[in-house]
């Protein structure tokens, strides 16, 4: 298991919430990584300090407390006025303020690691106000979860609860920019691009209006798909039997290309412990087709994952998922995956075109493979789009974006990508 000092599993380990195998993996990771060991030691010290100082006092009054109470009682007998007395008021110490701050840190970490479970009651309490009039079909357990919410949800609920259970409390639905665990989301049906590739509004805001666009207007998937992305990873081709025959070409029994699926992995630039999975779905040159693509994370190798982008507008109720792949078109997708191992298979991608199954792809994480130039550029677009949207604010900053841009910049960079780098540089100075 590869951990970074801010990994929530460190807190879960201290709270005794991990199973024996995961706990042993955390101990092994701490033994081999001084930074993780330091974080573990620091959190353990804070936990002990809170336990020592915030434990309730025994049911026995100190002599000073008893004397103060008796004095207040005698004063009440003389004046007829009673005084309230706080048993703990005179035992506070100046150091208690720092302990309270430490408590806030522990509580925040605890809430962060347990948020998907502890806020379900809050979501259930708002069900009467967020459910549409028309009942939505339940998602059977073990089936694919949608990549977008089928119901309109208040922004505060969307922001706080990444995984909303469906009406029957079965398989969760992935919404917003939140994570879903491999156990809760054993499969994810990937959407084909729902909107047209669009970078015009952001360009207008930065270059003409001289200001950053509103966070709500940033659509990562629309920005990513403004650029042709050709991945240098595993590729699968879907073919179908030709339905016509002509004596001039003798093409009876010859298959026709219907779509191409490619995938490539690289270290996630804003989260080194994670893997960024890039997927490209390309149609054929002649005909539209229906493509259904499903990501199946490995439950033993993936801790959690999230699909980047594809978030409906606030006034949208219907899901944006579509399976229609136009001729001569391509769609690029990005999934951030938090693995539980350094190498190994992260899962598979199964797909079908026009209801005909195609050969699947196995997703393998390997630190030895050098990412392609297109994969590096796609990761920069994903990082920049999240920065504009205020997502991953603690991890993505101007220094990271500048470093990624320097790795990509070259004299033979295509004109559209070179212009994108200039747009990004201008936005970093606003």
Determine, yes or no, domain membership for 150.
no
- CA 142 from centroid of its chain's CA atoms: 21
Q: Report, as ranges of residue numbers, the positions in the chain whose pLDDT lies below 50.
A: 59, 82-100, 110-177, 312-320
280 shares its domain with 199: yes
289 shares its domain with 391: yes
Domain boundary among 118, 133, 157: 118
CATH at 234: 2.60.40.10
Q: Cα–Cα distance between 322 and 338 in angstroms, integer?
A: 26
- CA 66 from centroid of its chain's CA atoms: 56
User: How confident is the model at residue 192, as a pLDDT?
Assistant: 87
Domain boundary among 65, 100, 118: 118
Domain boundary among 79, 102, 118: 118
Cα angle 198-203-204, degrees, rounded to a multiple of 5: 110
Determine, yes or no, domain membership for 133.
no
Residue 228: give the domain boundaries: 189-242+252-428
Look at residues 253, 238, 241, 223 and name the one whose alpha carbon lies nearest to residue 290. 238
291 shares its domain with 379: yes
Q: In 2-62, which ranges are continuous DSSP H helix?
A: 8-14, 20-32, 34-54
Domain count, the chain: 2
Determine, yes or no, domain membership for 178.
no
Helix (H, G, I), strand (E, B) or coil at 332: strand
- The answer to whether 83 touches 76, Cβ cutoff 8 Å, is yes
194 shares its domain with 49: no
- The answer to whether 333 touches 221, Cβ cutoff 8 Å, is yes
The residue to which tokens 């003389």 are assigned: 78
Q: Where are the beta strands (DSSP E) in 214-368?
A: 234-241, 255-267, 275-283, 289-297, 302-307, 324-325, 330-339, 344-353, 356-365
Q: In 231-290, which ranges are continuous DSSP H helix?
A: none
Determine, yes or no, domain membership for 146.
no
Backbone angles phi, psi at 137, to 5 degrees: -65, 145
User: How confident is the model at residue 87, as a pLDDT?
Assistant: 39
Determine, yes or no, domain membership for 143.
no
Determine, yes or no, domain membership for 123.
no
213 shares its domain with 293: yes
DSSP label of 356: E
Copy the structure tokens of residue 260.
């191409």
109 shares its domain with 221: no
Q: Cα–Cα distance between 341 and 326 in angstroms, integer?
A: 38
98 shares its domain with 197: no
112 shares its domain with 196: no
Q: Cα–Cα distance between 219 and 224 in angstroms, integer?
A: 9
Determine, yes or no, domain membership for 352.
yes
DSSP 88-141: TGGG--TTHHHHHHHHHHHHHHHHHHHHHHHTHHHHHHTHHHHS-SSPPPP--T
The residue to which tokens 């201290």 are assigned: 14
Determine, yes or no, domain membership for 306.
yes
Q: What is the pTM of this model?
A: 0.59
pLDDT tens-digit series, residues 283-325 = 999 999 999 999 999 999 999 999 998 654 443 333 445 788 9
Look at residues 269, 221, 216 and name the one whose alpha carbon lies nearest to residue 390. 216
pLDDT tens-digit series, residues 155-165 = 433 333 333 33
DSSP 130-153: HS-SSPPPP--TTSPBPSS-SS--
- The answer to whether 215 touches 175, Cβ cutoff 8 Å, is no
């Amino acid at each position: 298991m590869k951990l970074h000092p801010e990994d929530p599993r460190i807190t879960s380990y201290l709270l005794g919430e991990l199973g024996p195998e995961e706990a042993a993996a955390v101990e092994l990771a701490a033994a081999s990584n001084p930074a993780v060991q330091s974080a573990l030691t620091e959190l353990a010290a804070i936990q002990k300090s809170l336990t020592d100082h915030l434990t309730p006092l025994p049911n026995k009054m100190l002599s000073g407390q008893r004397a103060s109470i008796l004095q207040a009682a005698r004063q009440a007998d003389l004046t007829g006025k009673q005084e309230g007395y706080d048993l703990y008021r005179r035992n506070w110490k100046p150091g208690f303020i720092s302990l309270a701050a430490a408590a806030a840190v522990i509580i925040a970490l605890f809430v962060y690691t347990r948020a998907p479970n502890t806020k379900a009651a809050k979501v259930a309490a708002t069900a009467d106000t967020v459910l549409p009039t028309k009942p939505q079909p339940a998602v059977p357990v073990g089936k694919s979860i949608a990549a977008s919410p089928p119901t309109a949800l208040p922004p505060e609920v969307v922001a706080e609860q990444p995984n909303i259970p469906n009406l029957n409390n079965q398989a969760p639905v992935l919404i917003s920019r939140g994570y879903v665990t491999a156990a809760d989301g054993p499969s994810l049906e990937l959407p084909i691009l729902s909107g047209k590739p669009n970078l015009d509004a952001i360009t207008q805001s930065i270059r003409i209006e001289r200001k950053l666009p509103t966070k709500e207007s940033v659509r990562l998937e629309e920005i990513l798909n403004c650029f042709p992305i050709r991945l240098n990873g595993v590729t699968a081709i879907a073919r179908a039997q030709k339905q016509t025959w002509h004596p001039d070409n003798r093409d009876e029994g010859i298959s026709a290309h219907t779509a191409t699926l490619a995938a490539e992995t690289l270290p996630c630039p804003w989260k080194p412990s994670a893997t960024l999975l890039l997927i490209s779905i390309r149609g054929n040159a002649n005909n539209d087709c229906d493509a259904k693509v499903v990501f199946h994370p490995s439950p033993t190798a993936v801790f959690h994952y999230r699909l980047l982008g594809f978030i409906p507008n606030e006034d949208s109720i219907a899901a944006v998922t579509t399976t229609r792949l136009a001729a001569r078109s391509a769609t690029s997708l990005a999934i951030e995956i938090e693995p539980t191992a350094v190498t190994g298979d992260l899962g598979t991608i199964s797909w079908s075109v026009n209801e005909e199954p195609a050969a699947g792809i196995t997703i393998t994480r390997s630190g030895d493979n050098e990412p392609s130039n297109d994969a590096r550029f796609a990761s920069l677009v994903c990082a920049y789009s999240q920065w504009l949207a205020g997502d991953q604010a603690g991890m993505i900053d101007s220094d990271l974006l500048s470093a990624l841009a320097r790795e990509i910049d070259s004299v033979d960079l295509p004109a559209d990508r070179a212009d994108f780098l200039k747009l990004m540089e201008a936005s970093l100075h606003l």
